């Protein structure tokens, strides 16, 4: 998205001056760390609002763990299909668009998000690290427990990269066949080559983050000259440590959140909503 188009649609409210504003303006590389609050104004409830929102009817702990998938793949799949139905209709809000526009004019912007909704990319952000994956991508279900218990080391499927199930082996299947599969109602899909069950490419409870993805997030935080933290309660590790990592390095950190977090007392914390505050802030930084 070009800067002029973005600025045309910006609210003209000026950003009040605050400590670090000058450092933010000067920063040639800004990292933006986002959580569920970033997408709240796109109509996606935050995790903490789960008892009243998207997550209300089922405890995610019961349907978003490897254990749950092993026990009942169809139930876990159906729950994700329901969540995806609500998330699929969501559109980026003014905050997502403002972050995308921040990169115009040559400044480097790294977005590190805990969100699985793809809205930063939909808004036009390019360098996005999805710490917790993406609801709309699939990957093979890798059953580590079964693999460790098996007498032989597992065979790795050349198409899905998972532990091959060989329930229906099609030697002519390709990665393109796999790429065509989507999160949709119906039976849990399987790898067209080896028959392994497929699952959404998100990080479930009791799972580790992909180390390469975490490395990319740490590299963005370690290389930035300023960090903006938006809409995260900072209660989910290891993601929550990332703003602290920047702060320890002496990098200016700005938080945007209607509620105080553990970070708030240590940084400049603006109390307000992402879609309201980010356009004014970024209009200021882009100027």
Q: Applying CB under 6 A, which part among 44-52, 142-150, 161-169, 206-214 lies near ligand NAD?
A: 44-52
- Annotated catalytic, 120? no
Helix axes 274-286, 94-102, angle to 10 degrees: 20
Please pick, among 20, 132, 171, 266, the residue that the annotation labels catalytic: 132
Any contact of residue 35 with ligand NAD (CB under 6 A)? yes
- For residues 32 and 253, the answer to whether their CB atoms sit within 8 Å is no
> DSSP labels for 15-72?
PPP-TTHHHHHH-SEEEEEE-GGGGGGGTPPPGGGTTTSTTSSS-HHHHSSHHHHHH-
Residue of 62, 74, 204, 80 lying closest to 144 (CA atoms): 204
Please compute, for residue 112, the number of CA atoms within 13 A of its CA located in the half-sphere on the CB side. 28
Q: Applying CB under 6 A, which part among 13-21, 63-71, 109-117, 279-287 lies near ligand NAD?
A: 109-117
Any contact of residue 199 with ligand NAD (CB under 6 A)? no
- CB of 125 or CB of 261, closer to ligand NAD: 261
Residue of 97, 90, 96 lying closest to 5 (CA atoms): 97
Cα–Cα dist 217/202, whole Å: 16
265-284 binders of ligand NAD (CB under 6 A): 273-274
Q: 164 is written with which tokens?
A: 């091959």
- CB of 53 or CB of 195, closer to ligand NAD: 53
Closest approach, Cβ 273 to ligand NAD, in A, equals 4
Tell me the site size for ligand NAD, rule CB under 6 A.
28
116-175 binders of ligand NAD (CB under 6 A): 116-117, 132
Distance of CA 80 to the CA centre of its chain: 15
Residue of 125, 143, 134 lying closest to 66 (CA atoms): 143
Closest approach, Cβ 139 to ligand NAD, in A, equals 16
Any contact of residue 114 with ligand NAD (CB under 6 A)? yes
- CB of 110 or CB of 261, closer to ligand NAD: 261
Any contact of residue 257 with ligand NAD (CB under 6 A)? yes
Which residues are known to be catalytic? 132
Using CB under 6 A, list all residues that contact ligand NAD.
35-37, 39-41, 44, 46-48, 114-117, 132, 230-233, 235-236, 256-259, 261, 273-274
């Amino acid at each position: 998205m070009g800067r002029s188009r973005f600025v045309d649609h910006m609210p003209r409210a000026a950003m009040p001056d605050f400590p670090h504003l000058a450092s933010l303006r000067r920063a040639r590389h800004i990292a933006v760390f986002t959580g569920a609050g970033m997408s709240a104004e796109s109509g996606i409830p935050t995790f903490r609002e789960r008892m009243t929102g998207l997550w209300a009817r089922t405890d995610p702990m019961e349907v978003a763990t490897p254990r749950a998938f092993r026990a009942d793949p169809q139930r876990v799949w159906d729950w994700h299909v329901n969540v995806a139905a609500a998330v699929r209709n969501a559109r980026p809000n003014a905050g997502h668009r403002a972050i995308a526009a921040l990169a115009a004019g040559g400044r480097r912007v790294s977005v590190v998000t805990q969100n699985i909704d793809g809205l930063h990319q939909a808004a036009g952000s390019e360098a996005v690290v999805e710490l917790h994956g993406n609801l709309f991508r699939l990957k093979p279900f890798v059953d580590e427990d079964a693999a460790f218990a098996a007498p032989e080391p597992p065979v790795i499927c050349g198409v899905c990269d998972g532990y091959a199930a060989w329930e229906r082996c099609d030697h002519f299947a390709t990665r393109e066949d796999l790429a065509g599969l989507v999160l949709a109602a119906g039976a849990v899909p399987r790898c067209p080559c080896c028959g392994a069950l497929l699952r959404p490419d998100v990080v479930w409870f009791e799972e580790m983050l992909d180390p390469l993805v975490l490395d990319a997030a740490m590299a963005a935080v370690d290389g930035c000259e300023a960090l903006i933290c938006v809409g995260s309660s900072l209660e989910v590790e290891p993601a929550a440590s990332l703003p602290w990592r920047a702060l320890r390095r002496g990098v200016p950190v700005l938080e945007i959140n209607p509620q105080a977090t553990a970070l708030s007392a240590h940084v400049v914390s603006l109390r307000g909503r992402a879609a309201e505050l980010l356009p004014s802030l970024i209009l200021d930084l882009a100027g």
